[in-house]
């Protein structure tokens, strides 16, 4: 059974997709951008601030679906520049201290709206 998940605390989808979809005890969270719902814009600052906002947005969606960061099994991190990896990794590591999820990180040519980082997440109950 498929259930679409949408949190009012996280940014609305900017296209024809859901913030997340839950199916058979697995939560698939679409790539999250560093949008602050209060302003509707990217947070000010660099990759550190953007990664912090992305992780907050992921947390809001996990919470809405009844999951937590402990349930995350896989992340895919997309960076506009691989030189931002260390800073992104430092912030990311604040959310996963033990039993860390599997992860891939890529530098891509461009991210939506000029973001520096986007992260998609899979969690399992």
Per-residue pLDDT, 53 = 98
Domain harbouring 50, CATH code: 3.30.1330.40
Tell me the pLDDT tens digit for each residue of 46-98.
999 999 999 999 999 999 999 999 999 999 999 999 999 999 999 999 999 99
Q: Rounded CA gap, 80 and 94, in Å? A: 21
Tell me the pLDDT tens digit for each residue of 91-107.
999 999 999 999 999 99
| Contact call for residues 81 and 53 (beta carbons, < 8 A) | no
Per-residue pLDDT, 13 = 87
**Domain range spanning residue 74?**
2-124
> Number of structural domains, the chain?
1
Characterize 33-58 residue by residue with b for buried, 16 or more Cβ atoms within 10 angstroms of its Cβ, and e for exposed. bbbebeeeebbeeebbbbbbbbbbbb
């Amino acid at each position: 059974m498929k259930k679409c998940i949408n949190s009012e605390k996280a940014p609305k989808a900017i296209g024809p997709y859901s913030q997340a979809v839950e199916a058979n005890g697995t939560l698939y969270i679409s790539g999250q951008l560093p949008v602050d719902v209060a302003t509707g814009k990217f947070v000010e600052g660099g990759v550190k601030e953007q990664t912090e906002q992305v992780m907050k947005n992921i947390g809001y969606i996990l919470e809405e679906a009844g999951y937590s960061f402990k349930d995350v099994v896989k992340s895919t991190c997309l960076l506009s520049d691989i030189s931002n990896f260390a800073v992104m990794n430092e912030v990311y590591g604040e959310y996963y201290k033990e039993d860390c999820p599997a992860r891939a990180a890529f530098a891509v040519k461009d991210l939506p709206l000029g973001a520096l980082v986007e992260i998609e997440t899979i969690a399992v109950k």
